[in-house]
């Protein structure tokens, strides 16, 4: 039985500009290459879940424009159920501009567009879809009021909720009370808890703080080093696979989507699911572009041999 994963999230057309290095303030640089692809944290996570074998649904909003139609078709190409994607008649589809340097580091500018127009009542209207899921995942590229509504509905139906608090933002404390698993990177975790992530003791302190805030389970992703986890059953650290990173865009999104495809709703297999998620994200960083480089289950399994 494959996991049923529903993602509430953002749909952006990503334009990537390749540069030798990041420009300084006031400096003009020429770009070496320009490419466009489907993206957005929500869309990337959904595609990662679907390609890793999960039965995936998407809740989101696009504009009545070519970019919106392109985003919906892109998700359908990966077998994702798009029936809960709404078209906004007045606001355009979200977009992102990614500066990517020769070292594989990126800087990203995001225009929220129709992603920012998702209303709590629109989420409540697809309660039946949320109720069918094993996991509901969301991020902060859509409004927090929609997240709170979705997670509240999910908890009513015993659906496990996963929050990726990215990009980092001031968070409605009510959201954390209906979050089963929070998955920040080290800087996002520090912003939410006020505790700098430097070593295992500080990670344990972050986990304790999240428990105080109402979230029992935590995964902190630490770039090329690996991931820390803490659940009711204990905590640990899963090292990352050493690879030559070409483009780190969507590495974190791949990690979360792939994780949700393998995780049991009670999180009892978190350590093995984390190894799978690390493997998937290590493949993503070796390819260019967000969505094009997200691996399939066959690729992840082949790399695991």
pLDDT in tens, 235-244: 999 998 988 8
Q: What band does 66 get if pLDDT is binned at 50, 70 and 90?
A: very high
Closest CA to 46 of 164, 166, 155, 137: 137
Say if residue 213's pLDDT is above 90: yes
The number of beta carbons lying within 10 Å of the beta carbon of residue 87 is 14
At residue 266, the 3 state secondary structure works out as: coil
| pLDDT in the model for residue 290 | 76
Could you tell me the residue ranges of all domains in the chain?
A: 4-9+41-86+115-304
Mean pLDDT of 93-102: 92
Distance CA 47, CA 253 (A): 9
| pLDDT in the model for residue 288 | 78
Mean pLDDT of 64-85: 97
Is 51 in contact with 260 (CB distance < 8 Å)? no
Q: What band does 168 get if pLDDT is binned at 50, 70 and 90?
A: confident
DSSP state of 100: E
Least confident of 59-73, 153-167, 174-188, 290-304: 290-304
Q: Is 223 annotated as a binding residue?
A: yes
Q: Is 221 annotated as a binding residue?
A: yes
Enzyme catalytic residues: 253
Q: How far, in whole angstroms, is CA 24 from its chain's centroid?
A: 29
Given the candidates 3.30.360.10, 3.40.1440.10, 3.40.1190.20, 1.10.1040.10, the CATH classification of the domain at 4-9+41-86+115-304 is 3.40.1190.20
| pLDDT in the model for residue 277 | 96
Q: Is 66 annotated as a binding residue?
A: no
Q: Is 269 annotated as a binding residue?
A: no
Q: What band does 292 get if pLDDT is binned at 50, 70 and 90?
A: confident
pTM of the model: 0.93
Is 56 in contact with 7 (CB distance < 8 Å)? yes
Q: Is 287 annotated as a binding residue?
A: yes
Q: What band does 72 get if pLDDT is binned at 50, 70 and 90?
A: very high
């Amino acid at each position: 039985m494959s996991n049923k994963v529903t993602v509430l999230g953002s749909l952006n057309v990503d334009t990537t500009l390749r540069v030798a290095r990041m420009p300084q303030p006031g400096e003009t640089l020429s770009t070496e290459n320009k490419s466009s692809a489907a993206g957005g944290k929500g869309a990337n996570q959904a595609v990662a879940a679907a390609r890793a074998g999960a039965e995936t649904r998407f809740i989101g909003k696009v504009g009545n424009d070519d970019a919106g139609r392109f985003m919906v078709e892109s998700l359908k190409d990966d077998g994702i159920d798009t029936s809960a994607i709404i078209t906004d008649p007045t606001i355009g589809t979200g977009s992102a501009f990614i500066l990517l340097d020769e070292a594989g580091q990126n800087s990203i500018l995001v225009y929220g567009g129709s992603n920012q127009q998702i209303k709590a009542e629109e989420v409540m209207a697809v309660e039946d879809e949320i109720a069918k899921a094993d996991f509901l995942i969301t991020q902060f590229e859509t409004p927090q009021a929609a997240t709170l509504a979705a997670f509240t509905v999910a908890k009513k139906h015993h659906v496990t909720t996963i929050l990726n608090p990215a990009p980092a933002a001031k968070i409605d404390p009510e959201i954390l009370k209906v979050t089963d698993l929070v998955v920040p990177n080290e800087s996002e975790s520090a912003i939410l808890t006020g505790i700098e992530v430097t070593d295992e003791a500080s990670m344990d302190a972050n986990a304790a703080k999240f428990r105080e805030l109402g979230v029992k389970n935590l995964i902190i992703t630490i770039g090329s080093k690996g991931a820390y986890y803490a659940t009711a059953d204990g905590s640990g650290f899963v090292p990352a696979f050493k690879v030559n990173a070409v483009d780190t865009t969507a590495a974190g999104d791949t990690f979360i989507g792939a994780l949700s495809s393998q995780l049991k709703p009670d999180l009892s297999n978190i350590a093995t699911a984390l190894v799978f998620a690390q493997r998937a994200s290590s493949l993503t960083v070796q390819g260019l572009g967000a969505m094009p480089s997200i691996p399939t289950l066959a690729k992840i399994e082949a790399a695991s041999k």
